[in-house]
A and B are shown apart, each in its own frame.
Chain A
């Protein structure tokens, strides 16, 4: 697909975030404008999409994402998400989005207390979200995971809603962490907020073992370009 021009993606940096620069590089490589957004800022500076990258925000003290969600930038992220802006949380970013209440459920320590750092086969379950453009349900991707707390849990009513509304974004082929229903990523009801444990920014060229992550990041740029036309320039 052609890369949308003039799209700027903001990448949030908390104290303890460590995938911010990889994510910025991966997006810039695809032709996007990028902006590093510090967590103590109160404005998103007019970006067209937001990525909350991986790492250990605020040391993950208390619970993963528990402190980060109270950062000043998160009010702006919530307003942006509420207006339909694309927001993607990767790994620790997924944990932050659940703590912030922008996505349902929570992430618990992996089954067997195993830290998992490995290439991971994934099946797309839904494409009605900001990482879906250009992909089809049942497409298989290989993208690395790198986490200790990726064991997604939610109550049975929430799980039923996620399934019925097409909010399960992707599933593991072989579940590495004990997550309910093999869930690797979910989205909100509107599909503009996505959280996933795999790291697409680490799979952007065959040199790294897989370029499948590009498909998701390109879909995000497409979503950023198309929602900008609908939502308009964000004041947040």
Chain B
């Protein structure tokens, strides 16, 4: 079994209004940051997953997203996987 650093990024779907994103976008403009658009606010969920290989790690994380981490009615989930660096020190 191997360990994987998993990052799940949950964000409101494109067609869903994002009041937090809108508010931040207005605040940035008020501070003088011109040319900022498309601000969206989501969540980053980090965890470590033990699985036989990367595809199993991805598949089990997808199940977590479907059942709990994201609500498909309003949110999209993006998954990033990275093998945990092995410690080779003596």
| Min distance, Cβ B6 to any Cβ of chain A, angstroms | 16
Q: A112-B23, A113-B23 are in contact. Are A153 and B71 (CB under 8 A)?
A: no
B68 touches A113 (CB 8 A): no
- Which residues of chain A are within 8 angstroms of B20 by Cβ–Cβ distance? 109, 113
B36 on the A face (CB < 8 A)? no
| Min distance, Cβ B39 to any Cβ of chain A, angstroms | 13
The size of the chain B interface, using a CB distance under 8 A, is 13
A105-137 interface with B by 8 A CB criterion: 105-106, 108-113
Q: A62-B68, A62-B69 are in contact. Are A106 and B74 (CB under 8 A)?
A: yes
Chain A residues touching B, range:
20 to 34
B16 touches A153 (CB 8 A): yes
B17 on the A face (CB < 8 A)? yes
A113 touches B19 (CB 8 A): yes
A166 on the B face (CB < 8 A)? no
In angstroms, Cα B86 to Cα A67, docked, is 34
| Cβ-closest chain A residue relative to B43 | A62
| Cβ-closest chain A residue relative to B68 | A66
| Min distance, Cβ A231 to any Cβ of chain B, angstroms | 29
Which of B20, B43, B68, B73 has the largest count of A CB atoms less than 10 A from its CB?
B73
In angstroms, Cα B72 to Cα A155, docked, is 11
Map CB proximity to A onto B23-44 as digits: 1 under 8 Å, 0 otherwise.
1000000000000000000010
Q: List residues of chain B with CB under 8 Å of any chain A CB.
A: 12, 15-17, 19-20, 23, 43, 68-69, 71, 73-74
